[in-house]
Amino acid sequence: MDGRAWGMLIVLCGAIFLEGIDVSMMGVALPSIQAELGMSTASLQWVVSAYVLGYGGFMLLGGRAADLLGRRRMFLFWLAVFVLFSGLGGLAEEGWVLVLARFVTGVGAAFLTPAGLSLITTAIPEGPRRDRALLIYAGTSAAGFSLGLVVGGGLTAIGWRWVFFAPVIVALAILLAAIWLVPDTGRPERTDGGFDMAGAVTVTAAMMMLVFAVVEAPALGGWTMAAALAAGLALLAAFVAIERRSASPLVRLGILRSVPLVRANLGAILLTGGYFGFQFIAVLYLQEARGWSPLQTGLAMLAVGADAVLAPTVTPLLVARFGTTRVIFAGMCSAATAYALFLPLAPDWGYAAMFPTMILTGVAFALAYGPLTIAATDGIAPREQGLAGGLLNTSFQFGAALGLAAVAAVNAAAGPGPGPATQEALLSGYRAGLLVPLAAALLGAAVMATGLRHPPRPAPDTAR
What string of H, E and C letters represents the secondary structure of 300-321?
HCHHHHHHHHHHHHCHHHHHHH
Greatest C-alpha distance within the chain: 66
Block means of pLDDT (10 residues each) for the chain, 464 residues, are: 83 89 78 82 71 80 82 92 91 91 90 88 83 84 78 85 91 92 66 67 82 71 83 91 82 84 94 89 85 82 83 88 94 97 91 94 92 86 80 84 82 71 84 95 96 57 38
Q: Which of 361, 300, 16, 342 is CA-nearest to residue 170? A: 16
What was the pLDDT predicted at 56?
A: 76
The amino acid present at 72, given as its one-letter code, is R
- C-alpha pair distances (Å), 168 with each of 32, 34, 145: 20, 22, 18
* Spatial distance between the Cα atoms of 384 and 104, rounded to a whole number of angstroms: 25
140 CB contacts (<8 Å, ≥6 apart)? 13, 14, 16, 17, 20, 308, 311
For residue 185, give the 3-state DSSP assignment: coil
C-alpha distances out from residue 232 to 211, 228, 244, 259, Å:
9, 6, 19, 25
SS3 content of the chain, % helix, strand, coil (to 5): 80, 0, 20
Are 245 and 58 a contacting pair, CB within 8 Å? no
Q: Is 223 exposed, middle or buried (0-12, 13-18, 19+ CB in 10 A)?
A: exposed
With CA atoms as reference, report the closest residue to 165 among 175, 177, 153, 155: 155
Radius of gyration over alpha carbons of the chain, in Å?
21
pLDDT on residue 419: 57
Residue type, 84: L
pLDDT at residue 101, as a whole number = 93
At 457 the pLDDT is 43
- Minimal CA–CA distance to 112: which of 88, 135, 91, 85? 85
Query: Would the pTM of this model clear 0.75, i.e. be above it?
Result: yes
Contact 366, 142 (CB under 8 A): yes
